[in-house]
């Protein structure tokens, strides 16, 4: 069955109205809790957090600032805001969601629960504040969540049994692959144009749309069309041309170190696509072992 999802945006005024309505009217918007938790895992929330922290208003309206300040000062309201990362698209692809969401799932899966089954909002947010910068650093980015909460107050927002922890879909972290480098030592060049063909193939392996259309499922890697990114892998190697036969010897390297030597790939000089397909298969096989 196909499900249709609608994307809806709300203004800061509407959000404030929903979270601060003091009179409950059946069938209408508004909630009347004693305690509230608001998590903003968006780039916009990061901008807001940064602006508020610096007491600057260049990119925010007065209404936006007052809305967040009102929520922060409201008794029983806990607000967790993601901050802007240097490479938001890379983080979302590699972790399957934003770093803040990923860290919160980790926390509820048990990382922030110690020996207890109860999820304490203060422990949950504290874990995110510590873990997100670490995850961001691993992919060359900078991200520091901001917490606004009543001083010295906390409460339990749920209970996670072992069965429930196992149901949390924590995505496996996907490896990042940089632009490949392949040369023919005899000419010092890429005579067969293997690099453009391999770049195109790795990009396709990184695309959810392409992979799902081909029936392969979700991507197992994230391709970055760049030459430098801390912690990312890069395919490097050489190839020899003997008549119509091409032999490719390649490696997977990470931060200037070889982490895997790929099995030699050989094929016809006239069939670059087949050569690249073999090389991609060898790359994917070695990624599983890392």
Does residue 97 sit in the same domain as residue 190?
no
Per residue in 68-107, pLDDT (tens digit) is: 555 555 546 777 877 754 545 556 677 777 888 888 888 8
What CATH code is carried by the domain that includes residue 204? 3.30.160
- Choose between 46 and 285: higher pLDDT: 285
Does residue 109 sit in the same domain as residue 183?
no
Does residue 158 sit in the same domain as residue 180?
no
Does residue 219 sit in the same domain as residue 155?
no
C-alpha distance from residue 206 to each of 85, 93, 166, 213, 264 (Å): 21, 9, 27, 13, 23
Any idea what DSSP says for residue 226?
S
Does residue 21 sit in the same domain as residue 162?
yes
Q: How many CB atoms lie within 10 A of CB 277?
A: 15
pLDDT at res. 135: 79
Any idea what DSSP says for residue 28?
S
Tokens, residue 216: 């392969």
Give a yes or no: residue 6 inside a domain. no
Strand order in 146-148's β-sheet?
36-40, 77-81, 146-148
Give a yes or no: residue 28 inside a domain. yes
Give a yes or no: residue 2 inside a domain. no
Ordered DSSP codes for 128-142: HHHHHHHHHHHTT--
Does residue 146 sit in the same domain as residue 29?
yes
Does residue 23 sit in the same domain as residue 131?
yes
Q: Which of 166, 185, 215 is the last residue of a domain?
A: 166
Q: What's the predicted TM-score (pTM) here?
A: 0.62
Judged against a pLDDT cut of 60, whether residue 166 lies above it is answered with: yes
In the chain, the number of structural domains is 2
Does residue 185 sit in the same domain as residue 250?
yes
Give a yes or no: residue 215 inside a domain. yes
Residue range(s) defining the domain that contains residue 280: 176-287
In this structure, what are the phi and psi dihedrals at residue 258, rounded to the nearest 5 degrees?
-80, 125
Q: Which of 122, 148, 166 is the last residue of a domain?
A: 166
Does residue 186 sit in the same domain as residue 157?
no
Give a yes or no: residue 49 inside a domain. yes
């Amino acid at each position: 069955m196909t499900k249709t999802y609608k994307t809806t945006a709300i203004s800061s005024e509407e959000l404030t109205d929903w979270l601060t309505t003091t009179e409950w009217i059946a069938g209408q918007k508004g909630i009347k809790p004693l305690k509230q938790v608001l998590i903003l895992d968006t780039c916009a929330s990061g901008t807001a957090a940064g602006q508020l922290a610096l007491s600057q208003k260049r990119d925010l309206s007065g209404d936006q600032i007052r809305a967040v300040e009102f929520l922060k000062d409201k008794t029983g309201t806990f607000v967790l805001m993601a901050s802007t990362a240097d490479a938001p698209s890379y983080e979302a692809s590699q972790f399957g969601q934003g770093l803040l969401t990923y860290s919160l799932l980790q926390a509820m899966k048990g990382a922030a629960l110690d020996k207890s089954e109860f999820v304490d909002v203060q422990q949950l947010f504290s874990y995110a504040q510590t873990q997100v910068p670490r995850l961001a650093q691993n992919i060359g980015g900078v991200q520091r969540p901001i917490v606004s909460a009543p001083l010295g107050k906390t409460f339990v927002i749920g209970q996670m049994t072992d069965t429930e922890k196992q149901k949390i879909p924590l995505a496996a972290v996907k490896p990042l692959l940089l632009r490949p480098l392949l040369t023919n030592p005899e000419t010092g060049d890429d005579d067969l144009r293997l690099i453009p063909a391999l770049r195109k193939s790795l990009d396709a392996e990184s695309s959810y749309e392409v992979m799902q259309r081909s029936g392969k499922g979700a991507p197992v890697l994230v391709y970055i069309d760049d030459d430098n990114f801390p912690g990312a892998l890069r395919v490097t190697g050489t190839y020899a041309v003997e008549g119509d036969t091409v032999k490719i010897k390649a490696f997977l390297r990470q931060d200037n170190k070889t982490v895997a030597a790929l099995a030699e790939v050989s094929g016809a000089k006239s069939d670059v696509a087949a050569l690249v397909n073999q090389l991609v298969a060898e790359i994917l096989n070695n990624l599983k072992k890392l």
